[in-house]
Chains A and B, each alone.
Chain A
Amino acid sequence: MRSLRVLAAGGLVLVALVLQVALFPHLVWQGIVPNFCLLVVVAAALVRGPAFAAALGFFAGLLLDLAPPADHVAGRWALALVVVGYVAGLMRQDTRPSATTVVATVAASSFIGTSVYALSGVVLGDAVAGSGDLVRIVLVSLLWDVLLTPLVLPGVMRLLTRLEPASA
């Protein structure tokens, strides 16, 4: 059961990655795509807590860092998504989270994730846009993520809940 959970989460991340790098670039607005990997990590955090979400975030970030179009220093998205998994995991409640909580968590996570990624680029001297562009990119990607939350999060959360050890 445990391996099934891990496989399911990994599969979700893979699908998210393909959507993010291959499908959504056709629908982009100013080159900014919604961060599906981040959405999956947030969903996992809301369902399974920070430990699982941070590990999943590391995996997803590693994929994002290494999958073909990526050319930045590896580990940047991994760090960003680890942080996102931890912080979003802290939002987990005993009850089924309300829609407002989910949207707020996604917004905060998106902001934190993109910011951590950008700041790590600044620290490492990697290619970073100007500060005005940076703010715009962070805000647009936040908007994207929030817009896609109602489409992505419920399904992913339901799937992860079904595979939860306690209810199994």
Chain B
Amino acid sequence: MPSSRRPFPRLPRDRPARVSRLLRGYRPLRPGPDSIDQRADRSRLRSRMVALVLACLTLMTLDHHPGAHSPLEPARRAMGSMFGPVESATSQAVRPVTAVGSWFTTRRSMQHDIASLQAQNSRLRAQNATDGYARNQLAEYQGLTSTAGTLGQALVPAHVVAYGPAQSFSRTVTVDAGSEAGVRPDQTVLNADGLVGRVLRVTPTTATVLLIVDTESVVGGRVGTDMKVGFLRGQGGLGDHGSLDLELVDQSTAPTKGDTIVTWGSQGGAPYVSGVPIGRVTAVYASLRESSQRAVIQPFVDFGALDLVGIVVPSGTQSDRGVIEADGSLR
């Protein structure tokens, strides 16, 4: 490109000075010495413009209905096969660069996702962990309800909240139902499996229960098969070691192995109501010296895993919680 403006040669004859540039058309870069050159240039430009515009219009006409039937479709397809690879290569080259910006935002949202997922995960894990516990609790309540129906007694449900230490040589537990729940001393405590013990003393909100496996505990029992009566004394163990000794009043007979022992029952249902299953005879010993029969009873209740127990109360007792009535309803 020339660096200095050259004087545009005026054409006095056929060029008036006031023709606009758009109409005048192409002004050559290096105007030739004569006007013929310019006129030829202008007409060449005009014809070229006409040709180009006509070409455009022809294209539009041909392609007026774009689609599979357009005559330009082969050209389009050829362009696509040529440009497609170039475009995809460019795009692949560019993507890592443009992805940098979104990396930060993605990272932030992913962190948020991780936090919420972790929270959800721990919630589900806790739910899963307590699922078995909840299932067992439901089974216990159902068992207690059916026990109440079987015995025909009203029960106050309670949970064992404390075990007396073994060092004190007494097998007692604390349950979370007290006098406000309608619990009185010398009431029978049982669970879905069988007899648990009796209430020793109560506070407004808790009660101390003497388990039948305690060495101080004596329960009147009856052999289920032949209705013979006797006394069960605890041996002081818990769990599998918790066993009871049965001494029958009629010392001439002996229980047979496998017999079921139920409670004998006391006057007014205190401390034990009658008919509560206690355990099963696992062994019978004959003491020659005392000429008496001793039977070992394995209680039905697993004293090492006590949780929900029921305390037998008179029907219609006022309680701070629901009382399971004899007909299985909750009051």
Q: Which residues of A approach B to under 8 Å, CB–CB?
A: 17-18, 21-23, 26-27, 47, 49-51, 54-55, 57-58, 61-63, 65-68, 70-76, 78-79, 82, 86-87, 89-90, 92-96, 120, 124, 161, 164, 166-167
Contact = CB atoms under 8 A, between A and B. Distances in A.
B66 A74 contact: yes
Contacts of A58: 52, 55-56
29 contacts: A22-B86, A22-B88, A23-B91, A23-B94, A50-B26, A51-B44, A51-B45, A55-B48, A58-B52, A62-B59, A65-B59, A72-B66, A73-B66, A74-B70, A74-B75, A74-B76, A75-B55, A75-B60, A75-B63, A76-B60, A79-B56, A82-B49, A92-B29, A94-B8, A95-B2, A95-B3, A124-B60, A161-B1, A166-B30
- For the residues of B in contact with A, the DSSP-based class is helix
B94 A92 contact: no
B58 interface: yes
Given A54-B52, A75-B59, 18 more contacts: A17-B83, A18-B87, A23-B91, A23-B94, A26-B95, A49-B29, A51-B44, A51-B45, A62-B59, A65-B59, A67-B79, A68-B83, A73-B63, A82-B53, A89-B26, A90-B22, A90-B25, A92-B29
Contacts of B94: 22-23, 26
A164 B1 contact: yes
A128 B276 CA distance: 90
Contacts of B4: 95
Interface of B: 1-6, 8, 21-22, 25-30, 44-45, 48-49, 52-53, 55-60, 62-64, 66, 70, 72, 75-76, 79-80, 83-84, 86-88, 90-91, 94-95, 97-98
A64 to B, nearest CB: 10
Contact of A79 (B53, B76, B80): B53
B56 A86 contact: no
Contacts of A82: 49, 52-53, 56
Contacts of B6: 94
- For the residues of A in contact with B, the DSSP-based class is helix
Contact of A96 (B1, B63, B80): B1
Contacts of A78: 55-56, 59
Contacts of A61: 56
A21 B98 contact: no
Contacts of B2: 94-95
B39 to A, nearest CB: 14
A85 to B, nearest CB: 8
A68 B84 contact: yes
A151 B56 CA distance: 30
Nearest to B26: A50
Given A21-B87, A23-B90, A78-B56, A94 B29 contact: yes
B55 A71 contact: no
B49 A54 contact: yes
B1 A90 contact: no
A76 B91 CA distance: 26
A18 to B, nearest CB: 6
B92 to A, nearest CB: 10
A167 B59 CA distance: 36
Contacts of B8: 94
B44 to A, nearest CB: 7
3 closest A-B pairs (Cβ-Cβ)?
A75-B59, A79-B56, A22-B90
Given A18-B90, A50-B45, A90-B26, A68 B98 contact: no
A23 B91 CA distance: 6
A95 B21 CA distance: 16
Contacts of A68: 79-80, 83-84, 87
A115 to B, nearest CB: 15
A57 B45 CA distance: 14
Nearest to B28: A49
Contacts of A47: 1
Given A51-B45, A54-B49, A73-B66, A79 B95 contact: no
A115 B192 CA distance: 89
A23 B98 CA distance: 10
A79 B140 CA distance: 87
Contacts of A50: 25-26, 45, 49
Nearest to B84: A68
A75 B5 CA distance: 38
B102 to A, nearest CB: 10
Contacts of B21: 90
A124 B1 contact: no
Contacts of A55: 48, 52
